[in-house]
């Protein structure tokens, strides 16, 4: 079954089962979202990411930056990152996200896609450092892009367009049962900034 949906009702779960994903739509007014977009491009410590593809470590064109309450370590693709301290713009957006979603977050992974040729392959955010079944809030700025979910066993698919200034919340057992990705597209030529607010388990 291939289910395509663009749902704006914040109360509605866009997944049919085995997880909860709420699309809140545009939460940040256009001018405000523009201001954040410019600030994020300018003030985040953007660096190319490392991924493992066909057993090889590859540097991506997509850039990332990672921030948190403390210098948390986060390891994926055999690559350990240390969180940087929050800056002003991220703290402002984090507080806004906490108000809207009613959840709290202690870290943020930021992604910068320069154009539609850059995306992110199927994965779930289930690294050992992340709180199990913790809420992950995803904010989008700049170019609109499609975001897709695929069930790990049943192959159900759900897609949504992430708009400038929008918020998507993944929670419950979503990461356990579903993969997600940002597919590349030939239809976008401008950058997109994505912020995913998460909770890292704070080991003493
Ligand atoms: O860019 C996005 O919308 C999603 C990014 C993502 O899935 C991640 O950082 O884990
Ligand atoms: Fe993800």
Most informative mutation of 147, 196, 197, 200 for ligand 1 (most atoms within 8 A of CB): 196
- What residues of the chain score a pLDDT lower than 70? 1-11, 203-204
In a domain, 94, yes or no: yes
Give the closest ligand to the alpha carbon of residue 175.
2
φ/ψ (deg, to 5) at 52: -105, 125
Domain count, the chain: 1
173 belongs to a structural domain: yes
Query: Is 109 near ligand 1, meaning CB less than 6 Å away?
Result: yes
Q: Which of 163, 200, 171 is nearest to 81 (CA)?
A: 200
Look at residue 8 in the predicted model and tell me its pLDDT. 47
| Closest ligand 1 atom, residue 180 Cα | 7
Give the predicted TM-score (pTM) of the model.
0.92
Instruction: Provide the domain limits for residue 11.
Output: 2-198
- Return all residues near 115 (Cβ < 8 A) that are at least 6 apart: 143, 188, 189, 190, 191
Q: What pLDDT is attached to residue 2? A: 45
203 within some domain? no
pLDDT at 203: 65
ipTM above 0.95, yes or no: yes
CA 136 to ligand 1: nearest atom: 10
- Of all protein residues, the one whose alpha carbon is nearest to atom 2 of ligand 1 is 194
Residue 192 lies in a domain: yes
Is 204 inside a domain boundary?
no
Residue 37 — φ and ψ, nearest 5°? -55, -50
Beta carbon of 146 within 6 Å of any ligand 1 atom: no
Which CATH number is 116's domain given? Answer: 2.60.120.590
pLDDT value for 5: 47
The beta strand positions in the chain, using DSSP E, are: 2-4, 20-26, 47-53, 56-68, 73-76, 79-82, 84-85, 107-113, 120-123, 136-142, 145-151, 157-162, 166-171, 178-182, 192-198
Enumerate the H helices of 79-178 as residue ranges: 88-101, 174-177
pLDDT digits (tens, 9 = 90+) for 50-92: 888 888 888 999 999 999 999 988 887 777 889 999 999 999 9
């Amino acid at each position: 079954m291939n289910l395509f949906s663009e749902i704006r009702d914040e109360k509605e779960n866009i997944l049919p089962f085995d997880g909860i994903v709420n699309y809140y739509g545009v939460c940040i007014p256009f001018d405000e979202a523009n201001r954040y977009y410019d600030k994020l491009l300018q003030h985040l410590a953007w660096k190319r990411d490392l991924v493992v593809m066909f057993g090889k470590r590859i540097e991506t064109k997509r850039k990332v930056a990672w921030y948190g309450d403390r210098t948390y370590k986060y390891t994926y693709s055999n690559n350990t990152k240390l969180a940087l301290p929050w800056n002003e713009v991220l703290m402002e957006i984090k507080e806004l996200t906490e108000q809207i979603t009613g959840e709290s977050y202690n870290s943020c992974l930021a992604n910068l896609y320069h154009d539609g040729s850059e995306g992110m392959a199927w994965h779930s955010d289930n690294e050992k450092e992340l709180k199990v079944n913790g809420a992950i809030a995803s904010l989008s700025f700049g170019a609109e892009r499609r975001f897709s979910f695929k069930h790990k066993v049943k192959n159900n698919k759900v897609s949504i367009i992430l708009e400038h200034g929008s918020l998507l919340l993944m929670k419950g057992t979503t990461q356990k049962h579903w993969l997600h990705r940002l597919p590349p597209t030939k239809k976008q030529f401008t950058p997109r900034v994505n912020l995913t607010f998460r909770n890292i388990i704070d080991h003493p």
